[in-house]
Structure 1
Amino acid sequence: METVGPVVDRDAVLAAAMAPVPVADGVEVSVAVLDADSGQSATYGAGVFDTASIVKVDILAALLLRAQDAGRVLATEEKAHALAMIGNSDNDPASALWRAIGAADGLDAANRRFGLTGTGGGDGPLWGLTQTTAADQVALLRQVFLADGSRLSAASRAYVRGLMGRIADGQRWGVSAAADGGDGGAWALKNGWLRRSTTGLWVVNSIGRVTSGGRDHLVAVLSRGSTTRAEGISLTEAAAKAAVSAFAGADGGAEGRKPS
């Protein structure tokens, strides 16, 4: 029988790692991370946040689920929309696919099957104002990156991962900062940014898979209240690095090990 080590409180480790991260007054940030090798996870912060463009991954996952149910592959036009929506974060293709999945009702129906419990579709055409939590975004990433328990087929998962690994040059920031080599390809991501007209402040989010130290991590960073987009990007990158550091040197611990 393998020797089982002490249980590590990863939430506490993540909180300690987040302590030196500079967060300006009035700014809120929430982080969730899953170590794909051990299955252990950690969260920091709470609350529900606007998705901005990270919801585009959810829209695509919902579209693929509908296609699976119908026993078909995506049409050429749908693939073109998906490529532009994820790779370049284009909004018009996102709106077209939002309508194709049945807007908020369709997204909510798919998310119930995906196991997302704190995410609600935006009002009418406002998909970017979908509300979500960091934990739910990691649950969505599990559907895309991990086979166990996923409602998406292997082909659907590979399709989404492929698009998330080919993000336009100017959008390769956020969780990718925590990957080996930074912008070295050891990541797959989707970012979202939105300046709220009511306050002039920024929502800046980043979700994805990063490889660091030979381990894969699913990371979600949600933030709001930054005075500039650049400030929000810096915060998401610092938080992503903190999230991954919470598992630096982890060997699985008592929670993640399976007896031989």
Structure 2
Amino acid sequence: MRRTRLLIFALAAMVIVGGGALIGFGMKDDSGGGGGGLLPSSLTFGDDPKPTASPTPTGPSPEELAAAERAARARKLDAALKKYAASAPEFSVAVLDKKTGQQYSYRGKERYDTASIVKAQILACMLLQAQDAGRKPTSGEMSLAKPMIRLSDNNATTSLFQHLGGRSAVSRCNARIGLTRTVVNTAWGLTKTTVNDQLKLLSALVDKDGPLNAQSRRTAFTLMSTVDETQDWGIPSVAKAGETATVKNGWDTRTADGGLWAINTIGRVTSDDTDVSIAVLSHNNQSMPAGIKLVEKVAKLTRQYLKY
């Protein structure tokens, strides 16, 4: 029994000494003075709160970053087009990327003679009139619309233009489509338009929520994607392998312009990854080939810089 008590006393003494050593270790405070100090944080116990990291500041969202990148590309395209315009005939261009919602225009409100791109407006008017009557276009109407779009046949265009009701009828159709700066002329090729209005027209020809029903949209797409190879210039020049292009081109020369050429191209480039509408209008070109070269170069610049 005596040996047991001695053993207990010895163990108690060890605890007291050890505890004193531990307490003595913790008495040193940051001021260098003794007594009253706290244990180092590495030796604290219990439910003391643990330090937390400072919150990381929230940066721009992916959408904001993408919008900033698109804006930067547009500024670079502005600079490239201004540089080209310094030595080229006058032109305008507009692009609508339906995948991103970005719309770009350069001199978007300037009016130009349509020449034969007005034939796409006349086609839209024909399709709307047929819808209003609750019918498909007649075989007679389609026999005029096909050469009008695929071959840019002027006689077929004049016949269809008059059949629909001429200037007043096409003007009413334009209002329904939202072409606010397009002025129809009785001589249809002298109709005035802007690239911004032409984007609205191209959208009307394809938008599910637009004025044209599915059948009318299919008709427009079929005609504008199967133009004669002699008409296959302009917008199709920017299409890559695997993409589909629709197009309506216009060209005209007049004595009033000193024999210079108006060259225009409107259309769309589409694929699983691309859905872009493009309009390029120009005038005062020295020749038709020179004008085609201009509108294709401008269209290609939009793709180079906007990255669609």
Question: Structure 2 length normalisation: TM-score?
Answer: 0.74
* SS of equivalent residue, structure 2 residue 249: strand
Matches within 5 A, 1:5-20: 5-6=64-65, 7=67, 8-9=70-71, 11-20=74-83
Matching of residue 28 in structure 1 with residue 125 in structure 2: no
Q: Which residue of 2 aligns with 1:85?
A: 148
Matching of residue 53 in structure 1 with residue 116 in structure 2: yes
Q: Which residue of 2 aligns with 1:253?
A: none
For the residues of structure 2 that align with 1:44 and 1:38, how far apart are their CA atoms?
19
- What is the identity, as a one-letter code, of the residue corresponding to 1:79? M
Q: Which runs of 5+ in 2 are unaligned?
A: 1-60
Number of equivalenced pairs: 242
Q: Which residue of 1 aligns with 2:226?
A: 166
For the residues of structure 1 that align with 2:263 and 2:170, how far apart are their CA atoms?
21
Q: Which residue of 2 aligns with 1:177?
A: 237
For the residues of structure 2 that align with 1:3 and 1:12, how far apart are their CA atoms?
20
Q: Percent identity?
A: 39
One of 245, 250, 265 as aligned partner of 1:187: 245
Matching of residue 42 in structure 1 with residue 129 in structure 2: no
Q: Does the C-alpha gap of structure 1 residues 212 and 224 become closer, same or farther in structure 2, counting only changes over 3 Å?
A: farther
Matching of residue 145 in structure 1 with residue 206 in structure 2: yes
For the residues of structure 2 that align with 1:167 and 1:185, how far apart are their CA atoms?
16
Q: Which runs of 5+ in 1 are unaligned?
A: 250-260
Matches within 5 A, 1:120-131: 120-122=183-185, 124=186, 126-131=187-192
- Residue 233 of structure 1: CA displacement? 0.1
The structure in which a higher percent of residues are helix is: 2
For the residues of structure 1 that align with 2:302 and 2:163, how far apart are their CA atoms?
35
Contact 1:17 1:243 in 2 (8 A): no
Which structure is richer in relative contact order (CA contacts within 8 A, separation 6 or more)? 1
| RMSD of aligned alpha carbons | 1.9
One of 208, 213, 217 as aligned partner of 1:157: 217
* Larger Rg belongs to: 2
- Residue 212 of structure 1: CA displacement? 7.5
